[in-house]
């Protein structure tokens, strides 16, 4: 490891997209913590990603920042003073090094310029652009398909930092674990499997249609005798109500009622989670809960699938894959054409697989 990085004592790690992206960076952050045990490590993250505050022992602090270049729907008003205040904050915090994590399709240079203006001496990121002096070390990933976890580990590997495990890092609070253990134990009192379903998704093209979620939930209850627990953010409560209105048995809704710690603790106790390609898919994976993912072909599955846990990734082949669209112009055929029976079968397989593992312990 470079002597300048070995001397770093106040390190900023930057991951400005979504919660799932932050979770996928945690094995690399863990490796950084092991390499620099005396350093203070602060995460600069979006409001969604910043939910990990207090739930990752490798992080000393989290700073919340909504970056305008990470605003595809153009919700943020143009406000240069906002960025000036962030630069001033970072400068006051006196960071001596920064590592910028980005997805394969994102440029690291806007965040690198932010760090440059804040006076951060060392800045490391992957870039295929000409970074000039914005980066003190530019990394190039291998020209092959890589999962986001592998990309993060490869990025810090460019500094000579060896991996120290590949598990996602998310530690829910003890009191939340106890509460959710008791809740799920009550639902499972008659031996039924407990299946969590997270129907929401911030990207419309990746969201499994709500009317089909209702069919899936009914089928899982009828064919597997499962108890359903619905999860979601406060904004997704109405979505869950709409789905339940189409169902024969509603199940239990905790949408809008859980923090990230409580959601993680809940998913840890469930037999299987069902979701679209969204953050809670990675929360379930972090808690080692098997996942059935209705994975729209907007993004390459090999880069974003649930990591380190048994999973089934379901979609239907379409000519328009891989499209990167935020709104599907073709009625989401890659999701709608997955048979309901196939989804139920995937849930049943993972329930059986998890129970065999637990019985073998």
The model's pLDDT over 167-184, given as tens digits with 9 standing for 90+, comes to 999 999 999 999 999 999
Nearest to 334 by CA among 346, 323, 318: 318
Distance of CA 63 to the CA centre of its chain: 18
Enumerate the β-bridge partners of residue 209: none
CA–CA distances in Å: residue 358 to residues 64, 191, 256, 307: 39, 14, 31, 20
Sheet-wide strand order for 61-64: 61-64, 40-45, 10-15, 97-100, 122-126, 137-139
**Would you tell me how many other CB atoms lie within 10 Å of the CB of residue 329?**
9
Question: Percentage of residues in the chain with pLDDT exceeding 70?
Answer: 100
3-157 and 174-359 have identical folds: yes
CB contact at 8 A, 32 and 13: yes
pLDDT of residue 131: 92
pLDDT tens per residue, range 288-330: 999 999 999 999 999 999 999 999 999 999 999 999 899 999 8
Q: What is the Cα gyration radius of the chain?
A: 21
Report the alpha-carbon distance of residue 313 to residue 320 in Å, rounded.
Answer: 18
Q: Residue ranges per domain, the chain?
A: 3-157, 174-359
Nearest to 177 by CA among 275, 256, 280, 259: 259
Whether domain 174-359 has CATH 3.40.50.2000: the reply is yes
Pick the CATH number of 3-157 from 3.40.50.1110, 3.40.50.2000, 3.40.50.410, 3.40.309.10: 3.40.50.2000
Report the alpha-carbon distance of residue 355 to residue 31 in Å, rounded.
Answer: 32
Sorting pLDDT into bands at 50, 70 and 90, what band is 361? low
Which of the residue ranges 122-126, 185-189, 264-268 would you say has the lowest mean pLDDT?
185-189
């Amino acid at each position: 490891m470079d002597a300048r990085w070995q001397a770093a004592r106040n390190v900023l790690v930057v991951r400005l997209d979504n919660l799932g992206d932050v979770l996928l960076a945690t094995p690399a952050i863990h490796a950084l913590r092991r390499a620099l045990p005396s350093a203070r490590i602060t995460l600069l993250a979006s409001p969604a990603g910043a939910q990990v505050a207090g739930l990752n022992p490798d992080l000393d602090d989290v700073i919340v920042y909504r970056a305008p270049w990470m605003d595809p729907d153009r919700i943020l008003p143009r406000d240069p003073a906002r960025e000036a205040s962030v630069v001033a904050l970072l400068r006051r915090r006196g960071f001596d090094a920064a590592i910028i994590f980005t997805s394969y399709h994102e440029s690291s240079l806007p965040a690198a310029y932010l760090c440059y203006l804040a006076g951060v001496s060392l800045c490391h990121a992957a870039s295929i652009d000409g970074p000039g002096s914005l980066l003190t070390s530019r990394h190039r990933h291998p020209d092959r398909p890589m999962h986001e976890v592998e990309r993060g580990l490869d990025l810090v590997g460019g500094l000579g930092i060896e991996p120290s495990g590949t598990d996602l890092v998310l530690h829910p609070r003890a009191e939340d674990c106890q509460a959710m253990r008791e809740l799920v134990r009550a639902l499972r009192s008659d031996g039924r499997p407990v299946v969590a379903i997270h129907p929401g998704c911030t990207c419309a093209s990746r969201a499994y249609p709500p009317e089909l979620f209702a069919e899936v939930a009914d089928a899982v209850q009828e064919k597997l005798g499962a108890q359903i627990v619905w999860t979601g953010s406060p904004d997704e409560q109405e979505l869950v109500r709409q789905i339940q209105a189409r169902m024969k048995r509603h199940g239990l809704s905790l949408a809008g009622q859980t923090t990230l710690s409580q959601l993680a603790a809940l998913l840890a106790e469930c037999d299987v989670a069902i979701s679209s390609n969204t953050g809670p898919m990675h929360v379930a994976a972090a808690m080692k809960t098997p996942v059935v993912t209705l994975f729209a072909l907007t993004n390459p599955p090999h880069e974003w699938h649930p990591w380190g846990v048994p999973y089934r990734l379901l979609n239907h082949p379409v000519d328009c894959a891989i499209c990167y669209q935020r709104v599907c112009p073709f009625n989401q055929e890659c999701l709608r054409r997955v048979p309901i029976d196939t989804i139920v079968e995937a849930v049943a397989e993972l329930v059986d697989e998890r129970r065999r593992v637990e019985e073998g312990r």
